[in-house]
Copies of this chain bind each other. A is one copy, B any other.
């Protein structure tokens, strides 16, 4: 760190923030990364923590460990609470942090679309506490079902509703089915498996909207084989912790509702004094700069930018590519050059449904089944940060695959 160099403050240690910090490692700047957690989380595998397959420590890594050895880097574990764009200072719970350039990579959160009951009694899946809450809740349902004499109430204990037919909902429903039907049945020999229901509710008429229709069909087919009731045109209206109410009046008694039906930028974006639009995202120019503030960049889930008339999706690849562009543009500004426009290159998408089953759509080619599953495994192992995490996740997967097990079946709260 050098006092003479300009300071680039990055807010958020998710995919975007971390990539931006590393992309600036050779730039003549001081990089200060702020996050309220001390770790980077590999969100794509969070549903496996929620379904007792992985331990939280295996898909997260301390920021300081990742960025060890980068001389121009400093991490501060603080919570950002506001922004003073005129004074060029980020406001935190530990006082202000001055910047010359700012990269906001504050990420997304679950979007309940104002449905209060669901926000309060349903489960989102965005962070480690979310995942552990689902794990504890689901496992607890089985313990409670064993103690429940009333058959109606027991069935409600064992009914699990997943809302949203995107990748998160599909992966969650598939993993939940395998946890219950391959593993928990061994733990609960007195359990009547016919009492167990898993529902995947999708408001439109197809799963995996971002992929070709036939892959969505294949995913639905595979979920049915795993005894997941896939329901289309099913829009949830309310949930009181006991009963899910759908538009149209249908009522499903269920003690568990997992909400994977929407994302929005974190609510912090509304408190920064910058103009926000759809999903609470901050509108940016094609260069990822905020209008009127060429020194402020927004990337990832928090940024609103359209490509081909569509808003860019709130996904890791977008955040990673935006991070490269933002870091490059900051460097260009330092050299007196003009920032360049962001161009998104879609790397394709993947969703796994369980053992040997996945769908993939890469470079215009869609495939499914075992080949897609192998690609899914490899891609996720490669992307996971840290060799130790890769090794332990691979070992866990191998063990679970061969022994039909899940290691992390503890109820810790």
Contacts and interface: CB of A to CB of B under 8 A. Distances in A.
Contacts of A190: 74
Given A55-B55, A77-B143, A147-B76, A60 B187 contact: no
A94 interface: yes
Contacts of A128: 410, 412
Given A146-B76, A388-B405, A407-B388, A68 B186 contact: yes
A14 to B, nearest CB: 15
Contact of A409 (B65, B395, B410, B412): B65
A277 interface: no
B78 A147 contact: yes
A405 B57 CA distance: 14
Interface in A47-86: 55-58, 60, 62, 64-65, 68, 74, 76-78
B411 A38 contact: yes
B57 A408 contact: yes
A129 interface: yes
A37 interface: yes
A89 to B, nearest CB: 16
Interface residues of A, number: 41
Contacts of A64: 187-188
A367 interface: no
Nearest to A68: B186
A94 B38 CA distance: 40
Nearest to A95: B147
Interface string A176-192: 00000000001110100
Contacts of A409: 38-39, 62, 65
A368 to B, nearest CB: 31
A62 B407 CA distance: 9
B395 A399 contact: no
A410 to B, nearest CB: 5
A81 to B, nearest CB: 15
A392 interface: yes
A407 B37 contact: no
A147 B94 contact: yes
Contacts of A147: 76-78, 94
Given A38-B143, A38-B410, 10 more contacts: A37-B410, A38-B409, A39-B410, A55-B55, A55-B57, A55-B58, A68-B187, A74-B190, A76-B147, A94-B147
Give the top 4 A-B pairs by smallest Cβ distance, nearest first: A64-B187, A77-B143, A57-B408, A62-B409
Interface of A: 37-39, 55-58, 60, 62, 64-65, 68, 74, 76-78, 94, 128-129, 139-140, 143, 146-147, 186-188, 190, 388, 391-392, 395, 399, 405, 407-413
16 contacts: A38-B410, A55-B55, A56-B412, A57-B408, A60-B410, A62-B409, A62-B410, A76-B147, A77-B147, A94-B147, A128-B410, A128-B412, A388-B399, A388-B407, A392-B407, A395-B395
